[in-house]
């Protein structure tokens, strides 16, 4: 694989391991159990729905679409669920799926990153798929963090950077 492809894959894995998953786990830990499946109204998914959705997306796009595994997915059910597993189970399932994607990502050579394919009905390259999953995961991680901070209220203590240390840089 080219150095650029190698760096892309390793940076994607680093973001999952060091940013997205730890941030999700810290945010979800702030939620009382009755808020995991809570929705402010019917047109907004719960944190539980978003965790199901992230797991389904990684499974379909990386394990299936790029790794050759099954791509069947019940996407509508990810959003329609009104209850189900507890946060520990959802996070463990998500972490297992993400971790299972690492060998797939590391197996991608330059040809695989540039190869045209179709995932979820979208024409994409391997590179498109990796970038899609990374952006998608970051987007929903931010939503879950915001929900957790909002539910926990002032003094939530959830911070990922030292703002004082970053001032002026």
Segment 76-123, tens digit of pLDDT: 999 999 999 999 999 999 999 999 999 999 999 999 999 999 999 999
Tell me if residue 116 falls in helix, strand or coil.
strand
| 57: CB partners within 8 A, 6+ apart | 133, 136, 137
CA distance 61 to 82: 25
- What tokens appear for 106 in the block? 């590391």
pLDDT band at 162 (very low <50, low <70, confident <90, very high): confident
- What tokens appear for 44 in the block? 């907004």
Strand partners of residue 124: 117
Q: How far is CA 102 from CA 75, 79, 97, in A?
A: 22, 26, 9
pLDDT digits (tens, 9 = 90+) for 113-149: 999 999 999 999 999 999 999 999 999 999 999 999 9
CA distance 127 to 37: 34
Please name each of the domains of the chain with its CATH number: 3-166 (1.20.120.450)
Give the pLDDT of residue 149.
96
pLDDT band at 2 (very low <50, low <70, confident <90, very high): confident
Give the pLDDT of residue 163.
84
CA atoms within 13 A on the CB side of 6: 3
Listed residue (83, 16, 71) closest to 47, CA to CA? 83
Radius of gyration from C-alpha coordinates of the chain:
17
User: According to DSSP H, which parts of 15-86 are helical?
Assistant: 21-30, 47-58, 75-80
CA distance 90 to 2: 35
Q: What average pLDDT score do residues 46-71 get?
A: 97
- Asked if residue 168 has pLDDT above 90, the reply is no
- What tokens appear for 73 in the block? 């997915």
**Backbone φ, ψ for residue 30 (5° rounding):** -75, -20
């Amino acid at each position: 694989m080219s150095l650029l492809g190698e760096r892309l894959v390793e940076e994607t894995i680093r973001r999952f391991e060091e940013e997205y998953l730890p941030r999700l786990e810290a945010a979800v830990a702030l939620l009382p159990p009755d808020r995991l499946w809570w929705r402010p109204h019917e047109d907004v998914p719960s944190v539980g729905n978003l965790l199901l959705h992230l797991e389904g997306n990684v499974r379909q796009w990386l394990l299936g679409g790029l790794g050759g595994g099954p791509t069947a997915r019940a996407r509508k059910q990810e959003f329609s669920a009104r209850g189900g597993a507890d946060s520990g189970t959802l996070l463990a399932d998500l972490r297992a799926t993400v971790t299972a994607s690492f060998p797939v990502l590391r197996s991608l050579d330059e040809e695989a990153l540039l190869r045209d394919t179709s995932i979820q009905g979208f024409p994409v390259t391997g590179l498109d798929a990796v970038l899609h999953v990374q952006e998608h995961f970051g987007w929903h991680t931010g939503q879950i963090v915001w929900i957790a901070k909002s539910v926990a209220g002032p003094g939530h203590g959830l911070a990922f950077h030292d703002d004082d240390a970053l001032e002026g840089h």
